[in-house]
Amino acid sequence: MATPHGTRIVNRFRRIEGQVRGVAQMVEDDRYCIDILTQVQAIKAALGRAESEILKRHAACCVADAIASGDPDEQAVKFGELIDLFEKAKR
């Protein structure tokens, strides 16, 4: 992921990593539960945005390349991966 887009995603995960460390410190400091939960919700939202960015990248690159290739097997693999991903998310 040496692309500018990849760098943005890595930076996003580094910010999330910092948020998680901050929440761990809040728990160690016995901070108010609602404050901790608010930060956990912010982390979940940030992870959701990162997931969305990666999914968009996958669709724009990997899936688009499979479609452009005209290879039905490659197309089936890429769409199968997406279906598997969405089925896992439902569980």
- Per-residue pLDDT of 42-82, as tens digits, reads 999 999 999 999 999 998 998 999 999 999 999 999 989 99
Please name the fold of domain 4-90.
Methane Monooxygenase Hydroxylase; Chain G, domain 1 (1.20.58)
Amino acid at residue number 62: C
d(CA 26, CA 71): 52
Q: What are phi and psi of 29, to 5 degrees?
A: -85, 5
Give the CA radius of gyration of the chain.
Answer: 18
Task: Look up the pTM and report it.
Answer: 0.80
Dump pLDDT digits (tens) for 30-46. 999 999 999 999 999 99
- What are the extents of the domains in the chain? 4-90
